[in-house]
Amino acid sequence: MKLSIEKTATLPMPETPQAGAGKLGRLAASGVDLLMCASINLLQSRHRLHARSREEMEHYVAACEKLIAENFYAVPTGAEIAVAIGDRPGPTITWRSPIDTKFPANNIARADFFPCRRGWSAPTVLMLHALMSASHIGYRRCAGRLNELGWNACFVHLPYHYSRVPRGYWNGELAITADLVRNAEGLRQGVIEVRQLMAALRERGCREFGVLGTSYGGWVVSLR
C-alpha cells in the first residue's frame, strides 16, 4: 500500500493595515535619514582641507603625544569657576572657556541650571546633547521631571552648539569636520568645561552627579 503526500500550497497572507503602516514608517524614516545625510554632506563641503592641513595635524600630534590623557584634559591652574555660579542657583551659568579658539562665540562656555527645591545639596544630572542637536525642548522637559524627583539638572552647551554657534554657521556644524585638530580641541574643550562645572558645583555642596549624554555629548562625558 502506497501513501501519497500532497504538498499544501502556501497562500499569501493579506496585508494588514498594521503591516502597511510599518512599511510606510520605514519608508519615511529612510527618507529622513537620506535627507539628514545629504544635509550634513552639503554643510561639510564648506570645510575642506587646505594646503597646510597635514602639517598642522602632524605638529599637533607631535605636541600631544607627550601627554597622558589626564594632562590633556586637565583643568588649567587658576581656571576655577565657582565665582561664576554665585551663591544662589541661577538659570544660566557662563564663564570664559580655558580653551581659546578663533571663534569668539565659542569661547564663552554656558550651562543652563534647573534647581529643585533642595538647592545646591541635591544630586545634579548633567545633560549633554547630541551633535547638531535640533532643540533643547526635550532636555528642558527632562529637567522639569528631574526637579519633581528632587534632582537638580544642568543643560550644558557643548562647543560650537546653541549659544556658542559662530555667526554664519549651523548649530554644531563646526564640532566635527575634516579639520581634525579642531575636532580634537573641541572635545578637549568640552571635557575640561564639564570638569570645571562639576568642581564648582561640588564647592556649592553637591556630592552626587548623574549624566545624560547623547551621541556627541556621551562621547564628551566618557572622556571626563
| Angstrom distance (rounded) from CA 140 to CA 157 | 13
19 falls within a domain: no
pLDDT at 51: 87
Evaluate if residue 40 carries a pLDDT over 80. Answer: no
pLDDT at 25: 84
The residue-averaged pLDDT of 93-103 equals 95
Name the grid cell of 212.
545624560
Residue 115 sits in a domain of what CATH number?
A: 3.40.50.1820
Q: Is residue 206 part of a domain?
A: yes
pLDDT value for 10? 57
With respect to residue 99, please indicate whether it lies within any of the assigned structural domains.
yes
Block residue for cell numbers 578663533: 102
Q: What is the overall mean pLDDT for the chain?
A: 89
How many residues are present in the chain? 224
Residue 154 inside a domain? The answer is: yes
Question: In this predicted model, what pLDDT tens digit does every residue of 172-215 receive, in sequence order?
Answer: 999 999 999 999 999 999 999 999 999 999 999 999 999 999 99
| Residue-range definition of the domain harbouring residue 189 | 76-223
Cα gap 105→35, rounded to integer Å: 29
Phi, psi of 38, deg, nearest 5? -65, -40
Contact present, 147 and 153 (Cβ < 8 Å): yes
C-alpha cell at 43: 554643510
pLDDT at 8 (0 to 100): 53
Is residue 29 a part of any domain in this protein?
A: no
Q: How confident is the model at residue 4 (pLDDT cuts 50, 70, 90)?
A: low
Total domain count for the chain? 1
Mean pLDDT of 88-117: 93
Q: Kindly write down the DSSP assignment for every residue of 62-124, as one continuous string.
A: HHHTTS-HHHHTPPPTT---HHHH-SS--SEEEEE-SS--S-GGGGEEEEEEE--TTGGGS-E
**Looking at the domain assignment, is residue 31 inside a domain?**
no
User: Does 20 fall in a domain?
Assistant: no
| Contact of 112 with 152, CB cutoff 8 Å | no
pLDDT of residue 165: 97
pTM assigned to the model = 0.83
Q: What is the pLDDT of residue 16?
A: 59
Could you tell me if residue 83 is inside a domain? Answer: yes
Asked whether the predicted pLDDT for residue 86 surpasses 80, the reply is no
